[in-house]
């Protein structure tokens, strides 16, 4: 996340306290957040004179203060070194999201939404994929990137795969929304649909463009209009921050709007006053309410609202463990859970746990849960006349 902010600042040339003289400096700054000894957590400023942090030569991702620290850490690190090599490439290539090279344009769908059940169905529809990737590979920004970072340029195969992984993270969100619509049997041909993204984050809204959900047009060609409203306290200012629609959006178009604030406040201040349409579906990407009590409490008004208004809801998680804890919380709230499992449109880009690089990387939207309304009770007793 921190990297993304630095990149954005550099690309937009906005100061906000961050400014760079050149790309080299920007990439160095980005790398600094990863510079600590993976063995003993020592930071560069705590090294003794003459000592420097040395990078693992295999993954070029993690650092060590001494040979001893590296050797001691190897039994742990060797389990993830290979995948962390890919992570280290991705965190540089991700810069191309901000130069406009990524996401690359996708092709029209030759199959219907119901036929496209996973990436394996989606990918063969992209006839121009190789050409798209090769155009970015030979582009000027790719050259600038590898000229200014302190490591050699990986080979083209590595770079093509990295570009795809980054694109998959972006598309994963859009395809997950489409999948959620189908899960609840919402028909975008019958009427325009309003979809709220609750808890929309920095990473989704920073640099977001009005066309970010256009893959839904390929998924449901000729639909009646789909509005995507991103709502969250982290929403970043930009073209998508505009007033939500009160009714029918433009046909065959995806209309994105955004609101900065907590979801339940948005509901009270805007939806209840009929200044925005009620949602047909609410999607949340990694709400993270499983992580600690504070987060649960923050999400509680929203979760209860979704339950009590009987709104089709679809949330994603980073891992199976996170799904397990989230399910427990939703069950305690007596949510009617309709389905859960691994997401066929999970991001393909591994995410490093930055503070603990030896933890197994996770993937955005790797798991999901869909729920709606209150759990029906089997032996529900009607209140008697004298109760
Ligand atoms: Zn150390
Ligand atoms: Zn390594």
Q: What is the CATH number of the domain that holds 364?
A: 3.40.50.150
CA of 278 to the centre of ligand 2 (A): 49
Look at residue 160 and tell me if it is in a domain: no
- Same-domain status, 42 and 110: yes
CA of 90 to the centre of ligand 2 (A): 15
Residue 247: which pLDDT band, with cuts at 50, 70 and 90?
confident
CA of 1 to the centre of ligand 2 (A): 22
In the listed set 148, 175, 207, which residue is the last one of a domain according to the structure? 148
CA distances from 82 to 58, 150, 152, 157, 230 (A): 8, 19, 17, 15, 36
List CB contacts of 8: < 8 A, sequence separation 6 or more: 14, 98, 206, 207
Q: What is the pLDDT of residues 144-189, one digit of tens each?
A: 999 999 899 999 999 999 999 999 999 999 999 999 999 999 999 9
Q: What is the mean pLDDT of residues 330-347?
A: 97
Q: How many structural domains comprise the chain?
A: 2
- Same-domain status, 228 and 95: no
CA of 2 to the centre of ligand 1 (A): 24
CA of 241 to the centre of ligand 2 (A): 41
- Same-domain status, 141 and 46: yes
Strand-by-strand arrangement of the 193-198 sheet: 254-260, 226-232, 193-198, 281-285, 313-317, 367-374, 335-342
Look at residue 72 and tell me if it is in a domain: yes
Look at residue 154 and tell me if it is in a domain: no
Ligand nearest to the CA of 77: 2
DSSP classification of residue 309: T
CA of 218 to the centre of ligand 2 (A): 40
Exposure of 207 in the CB half-sphere (CA atoms within 13 A): 22
First to last CA, the chain: 55
Look at residue 156 and tell me if it is in a domain: no
pLDDT of residue 387 exceeding 70:
no
Ligand nearest to the CA of 83: 2
- Same-domain status, 272 and 199: yes
Ligand nearest to the CA of 64: 1
Predicted pLDDT of residue 295: 83
In the listed set 86, 119, 148, which residue is the last one of a domain according to the structure? 148
Ligand nearest to the CA of 57: 2
- Same-domain status, 230 and 88: no
DSSP classification of residue 280: S
Residues 223/310, Cβ–Cβ less than 8 Å: no
Look at residue 240 and tell me if it is in a domain: yes
- How high does pLDDT run on average in the chain? 91
CA of 254 to the centre of ligand 2 (A): 43
Residue 15: which pLDDT band, with cuts at 50, 70 and 90?
very low
Predicted pLDDT of residue 386: 56
CA of 66 to the centre of ligand 1 (A): 6
CA of 40 to the centre of ligand 1 (A): 4
CA of 68 to the centre of ligand 1 (A): 8
User: Exposed/middle/buried for 238, CB within 10 Å: 0-12, 13-18, 19+?
Assistant: middle
CA of 350 to the centre of ligand 1 (A): 25
- Looking only at the bridges linking them, the beta strands covering 313-317 and 281-285 are parallel
Least confident interval from 16-20, 204-208, 297-301: 16-20
Residues 257/226, Cβ–Cβ less than 8 Å: no
* Residue range of the domain that includes 351: 167-374
- Same-domain status, 125 and 219: no
- Same-domain status, 244 and 295: yes
Ligand nearest to the CA of 85: 2
Look at residue 127 and tell me if it is in a domain: yes
Ligand nearest to the CA of 42: 1
Predicted pLDDT of residue 1: 38
Predicted pLDDT of residue 19: 55
- For residues 295 and 18, what is the distance between their CA atoms, to the nearest angstrom? 30
Look at residue 387 and tell me if it is in a domain: no
- Same-domain status, 109 and 230: no
CA of 285 to the centre of ligand 1 (A): 36
Predicted pLDDT of residue 303: 96
- Same-domain status, 17 and 125: yes
Q: What's the pTM value of the predicted model, to 2 decimals?
A: 0.91
- Same-domain status, 271 and 325: yes
CA of 20 to the centre of ligand 1 (A): 30
pLDDT of residue 105 exceeding 70:
yes
Q: What is the mean pLDDT of residues 295-315?
A: 94
DSSP classification of residue 115: G
Look at residue 316 and tell me if it is in a domain: yes
In the listed set 118, 148, 178, which residue is the last one of a domain according to the structure? 148
- Same-domain status, 331 and 255: yes
pLDDT of residue 355 exceeding 50:
yes
Q: What is the mean pLDDT of residues 274-292?
A: 93
User: Among all chains, which residue has been given the structure tokens 């032996």?
Assistant: 379
Nearest alpha-carbon partner for 217 in 346, 113, 101? 113
- Same-domain status, 240 and 139: no
């Amino acid at each position: 996340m921190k990297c993304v902010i630095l990149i954005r600042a550099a690309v937009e040339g906005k100061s906000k306290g961050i400014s760079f003289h050149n790309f080299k400096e920007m990439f160095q700054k980005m790398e600094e957040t990863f510079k600590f000894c993976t063995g003993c957590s020592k930071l560069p400023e705590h090294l003794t004179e003459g000592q420097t942090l040395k990078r693992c030569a295999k993954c070029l991702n993690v650092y060590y203060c001494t040979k001893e620290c590296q050797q001691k850490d190897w039994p742990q690190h060797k389990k993830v070194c290979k995948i962390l090599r890919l992570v280290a490439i991705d965190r540089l290539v991700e810069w191309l999201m901000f130069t406009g090279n990524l996401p690359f344009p996708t092709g029209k769908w030759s199959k219907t939404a119901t036929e496209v059940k996973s990436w394996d169905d989606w990918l063969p529809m992209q006839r121009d994929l190789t050409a798209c990737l090769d155009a970015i590979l030979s582009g000027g920004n790719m050259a600038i990137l590898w000229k200014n970072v302190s490591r050699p340029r990986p080979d083209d195969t590595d770079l093509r795969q990295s570009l795809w992984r980054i694109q998959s993270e972006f598309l994963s969100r859009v395809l997950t929304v489409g999948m959620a619509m189908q899960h609840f049997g919402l028909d975008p041909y019958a009427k325009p649909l309003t979809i709220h993204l609750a808890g929309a984050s920095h990473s989704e809204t920073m640099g977001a463009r009005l066309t970010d959900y256009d893959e839904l047009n390929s998924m449901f060609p000729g639909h009646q209009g789909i509005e995507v409203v991103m709502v969250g306290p982290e929403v970043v200012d930009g073209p998508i921050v505009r007033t939500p629609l009160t009714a029918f959006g433009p046909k065959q178009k995806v209309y994105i709007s955004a609101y900065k604030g907590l979801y339940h406040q948005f509901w009270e201040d805007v939806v209840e006053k009929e200044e925005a349409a009620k949602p047909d579906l609410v999607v949340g990407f990694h709400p993270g309410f499983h992580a600690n009590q504070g987060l649960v409490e923050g999400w509680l008004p929203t979760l209860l609202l979704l339950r009590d208004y009987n709104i089709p809801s679809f949330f994603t998680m980073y891992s199976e463990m996170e799904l397990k804890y989230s399910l427990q919380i939703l069950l305690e709230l007596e949510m009617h859970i309709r389905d859960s499992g691994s997401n066929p449109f999970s991001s393909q880009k591994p995410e490093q746990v930055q503070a603990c690089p030896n933890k197994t990387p996770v993937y955005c939207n790797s798991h999901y849960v869909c729920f709606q309304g209150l759990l029906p009770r089997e032996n529900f007793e009607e209140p008697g006349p004298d109760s």
